[in-house]
A and B are shown apart, each in its own frame.
Chain A
């Protein structure tokens, strides 16, 4: 369970987040939707202990991320880019991450296989395509076989095959009782993947409910999203 409560983030005089609050529950895929700059990444970075909130709380279970005894085995996180230095090979990157949690080398090969990067594992990350870099980021998130996945814009840069693969993967992950929170500014890609939807706009949550509740009388999630974030019903 992820619980975010009344999160406020100010940078200088700019208020980036103005009281964000929602939950992501086990067994469900929660889509965190909003246009670019709405505050999705800021929220996720605070949730992962990378940024500090001005006020409010973001908890994994009952504790902040930085207090998790075994973070890699509890939360798998993928943020923008590969999260890897371009001069290392994909395998070397995963190896140091695995070492930080005392995971065996064999686990690195397992996750490389899961994301379909085995044949590119010995190549430097700098030579990867955008889609391969995203797969490497996902492989790192999966290393500890975590209960919770937090993915920032996971379909960005993936080819249609990759998008299809990640949808199936996330659905299966949630079906096994795990928690999946993913952010996106692309609505079309998400409607078939998510159970719950949280829509954020200009640092505030403007809608929070199941996919059906949010879509409501609108034809598609995308229509509902534009109605919520621009104030113009289609």
Chain B
């Protein structure tokens, strides 16, 4: 019969097990490692290209931080793809039904999935960001413009948080759209086309996720109305949490 289990598991244990399951999913998906590895390699290739341009004087700066992070604008595509893959891989082979019969409390499972992704993308983003700067600083050597360690730490911290939060936003959009290609097109269209266009033409664009994100690591112009890195971080975090909560409200009710 369906008598309650002899040892009922606690809510805390259930949450820990959901997180372990979602971590296991991420780690056992070859796409996770291909995307992270590919992003790191492409970022380093771009960093070399930007460094060579810097040595030839065409970048207008000799700062290892500015040159070393110039590639991040492109490398973020990899973090977008990883977020989307994390969400949309649930809809391959009917896996979502296995997921929801094993973890039927959807708010818990959805939160565990995003938490697991955060635990993977924060270190990955830190490595990606630091690798470009270290490589550039090594090549430029003594010819690099001096920067304070505070500026280096601030820029790396900002880039790391930006990439990781971008990945989480992408996972939420992926859960909403469900189809990998469609979600990637929507997100890359926003980050690479619509976002830059809006930034050039409207003042409010600096409060949107990409504008707020850029403020976290691009040196702000001497403009009193500019978003500071701290404000940018707060804004992007708010966007990320709001989007995840918004999608979760639907996710709890949808037929799967």
Give residues in A with beta carbon < 8 Å to B. Answer: 1, 26, 45, 48-52, 60-62, 65-66, 68-75, 77, 79-89, 92-93, 95-97, 99-102, 125, 140, 147-148, 177, 179
Contact = CB atoms under 8 A, between A and B. Distances in A.
B255 interface: yes
A100 B104 CA distance: 11
Given A74-B2, A82-B94, A97-B21, A51 B102 contact: no
Interface of B: 1-5, 8-9, 13-14, 17-18, 20-22, 24-25, 28-31, 89, 92-95, 97-98, 100-105, 253, 255-256
Contacts, number: 119
Contacts of B105: 66
B5 A74 contact: yes
A70 B103 contact: no
Chain A: interface secondary structure? loop
B64 to A, nearest CB: 38
B1 A26 contact: yes
Contact of B100 (A50, A60, A75): A50
Contacts of A50: 97, 100-101, 255-256
A71 B104 CA distance: 8
Which of the listed residues B97, B105, B255 has the most CB atoms from chain A within 10 Å of its own CB?
Answer: B97
A53 to B, nearest CB: 10
A48 B102 CA distance: 10
Contact of A83 (B8, B9, B98, B255): B98
A48 B2 contact: no
A102 B101 contact: no
Contact of B20 (A48, A81, A99): A99
Contacts of B92: 85-87
Given A45-B255, A60-B2, A75 B31 contact: no
A148 B92 CA distance: 26
Given A50-B256, A51-B255, A52-B253, A70 B9 contact: yes
Given A60-B2, A66-B105, A92-B28, A102 B93 contact: no
B97 A49 contact: no
13 contacts: A1-B2, A48-B100, A52-B255, A61-B2, A69-B4, A70-B5, A70-B9, A71-B101, A74-B5, A83-B97, A88-B29, A140-B98, A147-B2
B12 to A, nearest CB: 12
Contacts of A101: 17, 102
Nearest to B106: A66
B9 A102 contact: yes
A75 B31 CA distance: 31
B1 A100 contact: no
Nearest to A178: B1
